[in-house]
Amino acid sequence: MRIIATAGHVDHGKSSLVRALTGTDPDRWAEERERGLTIDLGFAHFTTTHGNVVSFIDVPGHTRFISNMLAGVGGVSACLLVVDAREGWKPQTEEHLRILDLLGIQNGIVVLTKADLEASDELVDAEESLRRHLSGTFLQDAPVVAVSSTTGQGLAELVDGLDELLAATPTAIDRGRPRLFVDRVFAARGSGTVVTGTLTDGSFEVGQSVIIQPDGVEGRVRSMQSHGQGVESISAGSRVALNLSGIEHHALRRGSVIVRPGHWHLTREFDARLSTVPTIDHPVTSRGAWSLHLGSDEVAVRIRIIGAARIEAGGAGAIRVRLPYAMPLLPGDRYILRESGRRETVGGGEILDVDPVVPATRARPDRDVDRVVDEHGWITVENLRLTTGELREASIGEWVVSPRLLTEMRAAIETRVKAAGERGVRLDEFDERERLVVPTCKGFAITEGVVRVEGAEDPLTKHPAVIALAAGGCAPAAPSGIAIADLRTLQRRGVLFERDGEWFHITALETARTIAADLLARHPDGFTMSQFREAVGITRKHAVPLATELDARGITRRRNDVRIAGPRLGNPVVGG
């Protein structure tokens, strides 16, 4: 299914053309039919001779209803620009064309209507005049087809043209994260709330849970229809009616967005490119009352010009936009900016960054994902995917890290570790992010929680007496063949400790701590020395100094004849 919007000046024959092609009157409201004037969006679909299903969104041409026009063209991929053969180019022809251009639409057909009222040579003149206006726009090479909705002249040719147009128009992108900007809401008697809209970016299935932005109300897809047919699932680029359960119809309005929970970054502020139309007679500055049109929503925003102080008419620049509520947005989304006071279309363009972190004065927004990584420094793979749409491999753990920061951090770690020499730096002296980076540094050895330059291990820690003490566990023999000064050095470095004249390797203390914790789990009121001795399987000679060391380090505490839990009972003993 493909979605095509009409565009063009009021009364030039847009609605009549849609009716002639589809058999459906897109003017749905009694007031529209009475006045012969399209006020709101109309919808109709038909199947071409080649079997392509085309959904038309018929928009109002009158300048007063431009918001309704904008609500309809958010999700379309191509257009029919309608021009009355007798009247020719008009202000809304111009404005609609500019809007479609700013929205990034690249394909369309120009339809000269009411051909039955003009002689053929006049039609040729009309086409020539049109071509001048189209030159330099995205429609400059588009086919121009003369039709009459009254006599049917030219309609077959137009349908063939539509098939060619569809073949040349890229199909909707499926990002696996559906988004539906609501254009109509109904309270359907007996079946809850029904919304319609153009589904983009992914598919919906019956039964899925959804949230409604901006309020974050939750609901579920009870059933779905496309073109009046019930369906179980529906893909990106379709017109769809969703029947939602669990949601009151007043929780929804035109402009609400339906997404799946957790699938989108919800943004209050974004950076975007702004191209202004040449017809505004003043430059754009940060002052003014602005309304932003995005998807089917229209919202009052504040803007700041990034870099320069102003953007001239017919120029381009970057702006930072502040939204009054969070919207599910992605770089590449298109918007239109209008000035609320003068009621004029000022410009529009592409969203570049949905999570700007650099102050507007220094921002240099573009679509480059490397720039985003660089500005964030550290960003999780998931957040990067949500804010840019790009899935990157993690540099460390779950993080994508700016290469510049990573290099700087590695250099700082290296300097610190080198300066520490044989003693090294304990892992827990690094901050959380440094601890993730340390193992990725080359040329370091990490032993017992201490980082040293490889080969710079303390030669004393390999001394046979130290190895013998480690092997002796909680009941080691007294060290021999090592100078007392060296033992004291090792004690200062946390490799060994001494109590009551008994020397132990630090690993014995960790064993003792685990056993003490175990005993306290079973005897919360405390354990005795004999219970400890038995649990460790040693005599008083070693049990007393070990227990005293546990007390000294706050792992246990002595109360009368028993030991109870100390504040550091749960912290593993790290040596070295």
Ligand X SMILES: Nc1nc2c(ncn2[C@@H]2O[C@H](COP(=O)(O)OP(=O)(O)O)[C@@H](O)[C@H]2O)c(=O)[nH]1
**Residues binding ligand X (CB under 6 A):** 8, 10-16, 36, 38, 61, 113-114, 116-117, 148-150
Give the shortest CB-93-to-ligand X separation in angstroms: 10
**Binding partner of 187, given Mg ion, ligand X, none, CB within 5-8 angstroms per partner class:** none
- Which one of Mg ion, ligand X, none is in contact with 11 (Cβ closer than 5 to 8 A by kind)? ligand X
Picked from ligand X, Mg ion, none, the partner binding residue 10 (CB below 5 to 8 A depending on kind) is ligand X
**Closer residue to Mg ion (CB): 93 or 556:** 93
Q: Report how far residue 211's alpha carbon sits from residue 225's, in angstroms, rounded to the nearest whole number.
A: 19
233 forms beta bridges with 205
Closest approach, Cβ 197 to ligand X, in A, equals 22
Question: Token pair for residue 452?
Answer: 């040293």
13 binds, among ligand X, Mg ion, none (CB under 5 to 8 A by kind): ligand X
Cβ-based nearer residue to ligand X, 9 or 320: 9
Scanning 360-401, the segments in alpha helix (DSSP H) are: 369-376, 381-388
Report the residue number, 19 or 179, with the smaller CB distance to ligand X. 19
Min. distance of Cβ 13 from ligand X in angstroms?
3
Residue number, 117 or 308, with CB nearest to ligand X: 117
The minimum distance between CB 70 and Mg ion, in angstroms, equals 15
Cα 480 to Cα 121, 334, 484, 495, 545, distances in angstroms: 115, 79, 9, 16, 19
> Exposure string (b/e) for 382-395, b if CB count within 10 Å is 16 or more?
ebbbbbbbeeeeeb
Least separation in angstroms between residue 6's CB and Mg ion is 8
- Which tokens belong to 473? 């566990």
Question: First and final CA of the chain: distance in angstroms?
Answer: 68
Taking the least distance from each CB to ligand X, the nearer of 93 and 193 is 93
* Burial (CB count within 10 angstroms: exposed 0-12, middle 13-18, buried 19+), residue 216: exposed
* Residues at the interface with Mg ion (CB under 5 A): 14-15, 38
State the DSSP string of 58-126. E---SGGGHHHHHHHHTT-SEEEEEEETTT-S-HHHHHHHHHHHHTT--EEEEEEE-GGGS-HHHHHHH
117 contact, one of ligand X, Mg ion, none, CB 5-8 Å limit per kind? ligand X
Query: CA angle at residue 400 from 395 to 405, to 5 degrees?
Result: 85
Least Cβ distance, residue 223 to ligand X (angstroms)? 32
Nearer to ligand X, 36 or 230 (CB): 36
Contacted by 116, from ligand X, Mg ion, none: CB < 5 to 8 Å by type: ligand X
Query: Would you say 13 or 347 has its CB closer to ligand X?
Result: 13
User: Minimum CB separation from Mg ion for residue 39, in Å?
Assistant: 9
- Residues near 267 by Cβ (< 8 Å), separated by ≥ 6? 323, 326, 327, 328, 329, 354, 355
CB closer to Mg ion out of 7 and 573: 7
Binding partner of 48, given ligand X, Mg ion, none, CB within 5-8 angstroms per partner class: none
In contact, 114 and 13? CB cutoff 8 Å:
yes
CB nearest Mg ion: which residue? Answer: 38
Residue 16 contact partner, candidates Mg ion, ligand X, none, CB within 5 to 8 A by sort of partner:
ligand X
* Nearest distance in Å: CB 43, Mg ion: 13
